[in-house]
Structure 1
Amino acid sequence: MTRHAKRLRIAGLSVLQIVVAALVLLPFFWMLSVSFKPATEAFAIPAELWPRNPTLENYVLALRPEFRRYFLNSMIVSGATLAITIPLGLLAAYSLSRFQYRILSVFLAMVVLAQFFPAGAMIIPIYKIVRSAGLLDTYASLIIAYITVTLPVAIWMMRGFLMRVPRTLEEAAAIDGASPLRAFVDIVIPLARPGIVATSVFVLIVTWQEFLFALSFTSSKEMRTLPVGMNDYIGQYGVRYGELMASSVMISVPVIAVFFFLQRQFVAGLTAGAVKG
């Protein structure tokens, strides 16, 4: 390939990246723009990408006590799900990556099979289990449902990464007198940190934005999470788009901040766990 052809190829790829980035970011930019627009300007014709008279009124109205309660509920449910899923998934992934038993192969097959079922197919049996246990409209019901969805994927993701951690390091630690638990804590977990971070970000995003289980398992306003609570802005006679977009921005900010703060480890964990070393 000639130098001119390489330049044309690079220029074409750059233009394609810009077009794709614009298509992906345009909805988010429009959401941000509407959140700063007055009610009379949100759908003015012709439409304008940026408001003529920016205002924070939509954010002030969106930050009512109910929204703060929804935010707290989402933090509790997402945090508890993350705190339970990651340790369980890490231990299961370590067992599946280190030990070769038939029962573990069956368990791995069940983990893979669980990923083929959509959330809608599992909601009825989980609902019956939660209802029979008297846990409807509680944090526990949502945490159980979210662990059911995220744990199989977490096991699969972390197993792919742990397969790349050399066993010789653990064998060397055992020769030096370290117990299997000590080798796991001091050697395996630090080396598996990118994979753990990648899985944690995945679990956080899934639980933070989940709507179906939260809508089905909660009935009182005090137990609603953010995705369900946003329905408050959609009324019988209209939609309060300014407040809806303002709340959407505030909901997106924590996830975006976590992703950008941990993006290097997130990408490293995904790429490292994608193939077996």
Structure 2
Amino acid sequence: MNQSFNARRAGLLALNIVLGLVILAPFFWMVSVSLKPAAEPFAIPARLWPQDPTLDNYINAFRPEFRTYFVNSVIVSLLTVVITVSLALFAAYAFTRSQFRLLTVAMTLVIVAQMFPASAIIIPIYKLMRSADLLNTYTSLVLAYVTVTLPVAIWMLRGFMANLPLTLEEAAAIDGAGPLRTFIEIIVPLCRPGIVATSVFVLIVTWQEFLFALSFTSTKDMRTLPVGMNDFIGQYGIRYGELMASSVLISLPVIVIFFLLQRQFVAGLTAGAVKG
């Protein structure tokens, strides 16, 4: 029995290692190309690791335009996270505590909204932004991202709040606390893991989004990082070293945030997935 258990454990460990290598292989290749001199990515035979690593690609990629794109991405992502999570908290609380039929219909519409891809809703949103004269502004990007991320955020937080016992709110009501005070002082602190998980999800989606950022911005000073990477793709060639260096620089903030908050992220997803 022990030998069978150990063999199964060893097999699962080997499978995890293989899957990890497969998943990390593109990122390793991206880092490798970013450290290679201009001509080395096309050398034959190809090398997994550069013979003479250099940081020139990072120096060239981190130009003033890149810093502008970075600031734009930070502003848009943070605003989207704050607005989406705030609205999702109130909506999820209403969906879990109220029994009105209208809210049930609204929750159904939220689920249906998750089924539409971004490419299916971009044209009507673009027309709305153009008629409101909001194109090429932070407002247009934030509103578009909130539209895409809010349904999923509501669904995530609703699953988490459904596990909170009603006795907490009943006790607060007996002590004289109103619904808003109960929500802010009791419900929101207890939802911290769910809030972290939802915030990380919204941040990742917003940080890497390309389609809306490309369609709603027309000047360089309003571009975000995913759109700004097109600067390295020219009519007569692609600067692979600088493109990969910028990709690494774009990926690092999200990777760092995820590793710092991974425990809360997993706890939030697990708590929202199991209703007990």
- Residue 42 of structure 1 aligns to a residue whose secondary structure is helix
- Show structure 1 runs of 4+ deviating over 4 A: none
Equivalenced residue count is 276
State the shift of 1:142 in Å. 0.7
> Are 1:82 and 2:81 matched, yes or no?
yes
Residue in structure 2 matched with residue 140 of structure 1 by the alignment: 139
Structure-to-structure mapping, 1:33-182, within 5 angstroms: 33-182=32-181
Cα distance in 2 for partners of 1:100, 1:153 equals: 21
State the shift of 1:41 in Å. 1.4
Residue in structure 2 matched with residue 274 of structure 1 by the alignment: 273
Which 5+ residue runs of structure 1 have no aligned equivalent? none
Cα distance in 2 for partners of 1:234, 1:59 equals: 16
Residue in structure 1 matched with residue 226 of structure 2 by the alignment: 227
TM-score by length of 2: 0.98
Deviations 1:230-263 (A, max 9, x none): 0000111111011001100000011001100100
State the shift of 1:276 in Å. 2.2
Residue in structure 1 matched with residue 208 of structure 2 by the alignment: 209
Deviations 1:137-179 (A, max 9, x none): 1111111110100011111110000001111111112112222
TM-score by length of 1: 0.98
State the shift of 1:48 in Å. 1.7
Give 2:84's aligned amino acid: T
Give 1:78's aligned amino acid: S
Residue in structure 2 matched with residue 25 of structure 1 by the alignment: 24
Cα distance in 2 for partners of 1:44, 1:167 equals: 66
Which 5+ residue runs of structure 2 have no aligned equivalent? none
Cα distance in 2 for partners of 1:274, 1:74 equals: 30
Cα distance in 1 for partners of 2:222, 2:168 equals: 47
Cα distance in 2 for partners of 1:66, 1:188 equals: 43
Give 1:84's aligned amino acid: I
Cα distance in 1 for partners of 2:245, 2:71 equals: 17
**Alpha-carbon RMSD:** 0.9
